[in-house]
Amino acid sequence: MNILQAFKMAWRSIIGKKGRSALTILSIFIGIAAVMTIVSVMEGMKAQMMKQYSAMGANRVSVSIYSWMYDADGNDVSKDYFPDLYEYCQGLKEYVIGVTPNGQANATVIYGTKNSSTMETEYDKQWNLISGPPTLYYGSDQYSACNNLTVAKGRDLAYLDIQNYNQVCVIGAEMAKQFFGTVDPVGKTIKVNGNNFTVVGVYAARGKEGDNSVTQMDNMAVFPYTASRVLGGARFTEYIVKARDSESVNTAIAYIGGFLKGLVPQGSGDYEVRAADYWQQFQNESMNMIGMVLGGIAAISLLVGGIGIMNIMLVTVTERTREIGIRRAIGAQRSSIVTQFLIEAGMLCGMGGIVGILFGTIGSVVLGRIIYQQTIYPVPWVTIAAFALSVALGVLFGSYPAIKASKLQPVEALRAE
């Protein structure tokens, strides 16, 4: 018997038992659809996170400096290390293009009838911020370089703004929209905790209209870090250094780490320097772990489906015992019997896999629209792997019934009713 004949016989057997075949296919397609949907949703979540990280820019180095120095009366006299770090990074122009504090101000912004303290915070279904008060940051004149920002109107913060304690700020596109509407914000004065600050520039939007995961990153304002003396005495411990390229990141980390080792006195402080994508890698690992757990749960349904395939094939062997006996009596080899039953099991599971891929694709699209407001299709490798897995399950769990069928003795098989 050739392979083509085996496929024809397997097809006739499947069609001859439509109800049984449908239930068998059902047990496989549920698991395949679940696995595909889970993988697609997790990939969508990773894509959302990557979009946010890419909006902030690559090649960033995170620097943390902790100091706990006190005078004889127990008063905190911790040193501000940023001026030293700033000057040092100016000498690393071959590897570094910017450095800035990474601090936030807790202040109320007022312009006309707009008041940040009365703005309601709203989130979408993915807990992405839709609207709310702006986030206020302290930065150096290199804040935009460190955070992948470009100025669309006006100018950026300047070095003299820092040195002269100028009460100016640059706002994001979303904040400009919320506070000023269609009016050009450049040159306008806003009140921040009762202090007048002049808007000198507006950053270009980093996100597309309707993309909440990135758009609300533009609902912000950046003030010279020296403005902390009037907006609230922020104590800066976190800094961002922008490396020139990916090859310069490790070199910058090494140089800055060596510099801080000599700057921060032992016993009165500590520091840490690492690539800013550390948290991105950590989140990716967490997402992968969650995906593995959910995938394991879905795999249990595939295991149950595989056991169902084995059970159905054992029933099929029992029902076709006389047929097997006749074929063995007229000279059929054991290998041809094994091949026939494996092909039948593989076809059943393959059909279940195709149905599972169809429903998994629908599930991915529906959940993508509900969770991320975008269309998510399973990546090609997931589709191919899902089909291959379904066929492999059929072959694996069909092996025992097929081998059992091939071991039947012709005389005993012919006696079966």
Please provide the DSSP assignment of 213-267 as one string.
Answer: HHHGGGSEEEEEGGGHHHH------EEEEEESSHHHHHHHHHHHHHHHHHHS-TT
- Span between the terminal Cα atoms of the chain, in Å: 25
| pLDDT score of 293 more than 80 | no
Q: Which two tokens stand for residue 156?
A: 């950026």
State the alpha helices, DSSP H only, in 57-158. Answer: 82-90, 143-146
Residue 394 has pLDDT above 90, yes or no: no
Q: What CA–CA distance (Å, rounded) separates 389 from 42?
A: 19
pLDDT at 179: 94
Determine the pLDDT at residue 159. Answer: 94
Q: Give the phi and the psi of residue 99 in degrees, each rounded to 5.
A: -150, 140
pLDDT of the residue at 165 = 93
CA distances from 384 to 34, 352, 358, 359 (A): 15, 14, 12, 15
| pLDDT at 164 (0 to 100) | 94
Identify which has the larger pLDDT, 400 or 98: 98
User: Of 391 and 157, which is predicted with more confidence?
Assistant: 157
Identify the pLDDT of residue 152.
94
Give pTM, 2 decimals: 0.59
Residue 208 banded pLDDT, cuts 50, 70, 90 = low
Over residues 75-94, the mean pLDDT reads 82
pLDDT above 70 for 52: no
Inter-CA distances, 119 with 109, 122, 132, 133, 383, Å: 10, 9, 5, 6, 45
DSSP lists the bridge partners of residue 67 as 269
CA-to-CA distance for 41 and 370, rounded, in angstroms?
Answer: 11
Mean pLDDT of 148-170: 94
Between 88 and 20, the higher pLDDT residue: 88
Highest averaged pLDDT of the listed ranges 40-54, 320-334, 353-367: 353-367
pLDDT for 344-388, tens place per residue? 888 888 888 888 888 888 888 888 777 766 777 787 877 888 888
Query: What letter does residue 106 receive in the DSSP assignment?
Result: -
Residue 319, pLDDT score: 73
CA distance 309 to 70: 73
* Per-residue pLDDT at 329 exceeds 80: no
CA dihedral 11, 12, 15, 21 (to 10 degrees): -60
Q: Which residue stretches of 91-219 are H helix?
A: 143-146, 159-163, 173-180, 212-215
pLDDT in tens, 225-246: 999 888 876 678 889 999 888 7
